[in-house]
A and B are shown apart, each in its own frame.
Chain A
Amino acid sequence: MDSSGWAVGSRLGAVLIAVIVGLVGYAVWTFPSEFSGLSDHAIAELQHAGTSNPVTAVLLNYRSYDTLLEMAVLLLAVLAAWALVGGGVNEVCLVSEVSNPVLRGFVRVMTPLSILVSAHLLWLGDHAPGGAFQAGAILASAGVVLFMAGIDWSHKLPAWLERVLLTIGLFAFTGVGIVLMLTGRSFLEYPPATAKWLILMIEVFCGVSIAAALVSVFLGGRLRSRQTVLKKGS
């Protein structure tokens, strides 16, 4: 493509962007300013949902299929990264020679604190903003920061444990659904009496899996770090 073709293309692109943004903006502008949507239904059913946080109720009760498949999407991303990159630690981090003692000392304090905050958020999700995803993200950030500080905590992780950590959320979620089916209910239809504990159990396992998955994609698809970075062509 010559330069004039590129100029025509970029002008067309700019027009296309302007048209699409204009249309979307117009659509947003003409929305009614008051609209209850599904919130009345969601809040009316809250007493049977096993949680007093409406967002958690939507995520893990009314629309638990979404969350189940979301766990599958996350696992698929890890598997794809595993296949494409094959693990190994990024060259820029995990260089213990350059990591400084202040960073290491800070990380020593922050890691237990992060784990505590993560557990707190998981429990908080029952009645306030929080839940498995937030908890998993904070737990994963603790793991990533450890690597950034040059502390390789996962290279001795057994291969089976790596796989269990990555998949336990999806398996626990599906398992709860299947057990509920065996008791004569439909898939993931929690009985109101035990809904709270089932949701909490699913959230604990999902939180662990989410954290493992996020650390894994950071490390190129493997939770178990490898000291040697794959060289080009190997």
Chain B
Amino acid sequence: MDTRTFFLYAVAGVVLFGIGFHGILFCRNLVRKVLALNLMGAGIFLVFVALSTRAPSGTPDPVPQAMVLTGIVVAVSATALMLALIRRLYRETGFTELPCDLED
């Protein structure tokens, strides 16, 4: 792959990571936090896949690709767990947002 194309994908992954990180810190809605965490994960996967294309032989390195595949399944599992926690929280309290004030 052309060197510049690889950097384009990798930098796009880093930007996605940053957007997700912003969401993790600043979104008070828990579902949005889950989405933000998934966005961070997507950014990391994109960086990994971009890095795997650097092999001089032209065939992408299968090890990062397999790691991304494993990572996707783990991310799905973690998302499922987080959404189950949110559903339970909603059932118990009726809220899906974190409180605005720490004193509450």
Contacts and interface: CB of A to CB of B under 8 A. Distances in A.
Nearest to B15: A21
Contact of B18 (A21, A133, A214, A217): A21
A80 interface: yes
Contacts of B51: 31, 35
A59 B21 contact: no
Given A24-B17, A58-B62, A133-B72, 11 more contacts: A10-B26, A13-B22, A21-B17, A28-B13, A37-B63, A38-B63, A80-B81, A81-B84, A217-B80, A217-B84, A220-B87
Interface of B: 3, 6-7, 10-11, 13-15, 17-18, 21-22, 25-26, 47, 51-52, 54-57, 59-67, 69-70, 72-74, 76-78, 80-81, 83-85, 87-88, 91, 94, 101-103
Given A1-B101, A21-B14, A85-B87, A37 B64 contact: yes
Contacts of B54: 31-37
Given A29-B7, A58-B66, A133 B61 contact: no
A17 interface: yes
B77 A20 contact: no
Contacts of A17: 18, 21-22, 25
Interface in A4-59: 10, 13-14, 16-17, 20-21, 24-25, 28-29, 31-40, 42-43, 54-55, 57-59
A40 to B, nearest CB: 7
Contacts of A16: 25
Chain B's interface: helix, strand, loop or mixed, by majority? helix
B59 A43 contact: yes
Interface stretch (A66-74, A103-111, A113-121): A66-74
A73 B73 contact: yes
A81 B14 contact: no
Nearest to A60: B66
A25 B11 contact: yes
Nearest to B56: A34
Contacts of B62: 39, 42-43, 54-55, 57-58
A59 B70 contact: yes
28 contacts: A13-B22, A13-B26, A16-B25, A21-B14, A21-B17, A24-B14, A24-B17, A28-B11, A33-B6, A36-B61, A37-B54, A38-B61, A39-B52, A39-B57, A39-B59, A42-B62, A42-B63, A43-B57, A43-B59, A58-B66, A67-B70, A77-B78, A78-B80, A84-B84, A85-B87, A85-B91, A133-B73, A214-B76
B18 A74 contact: no
A220 B84 contact: yes
A58 B63 contact: yes
B43 to A, nearest CB: 9
Nearest to B72: A133
Nearest 4 A/B pairs, CB to CB:
A54-B62, A77-B77, A217-B80, A81-B84
A63 interface: yes
B70 A37 contact: no
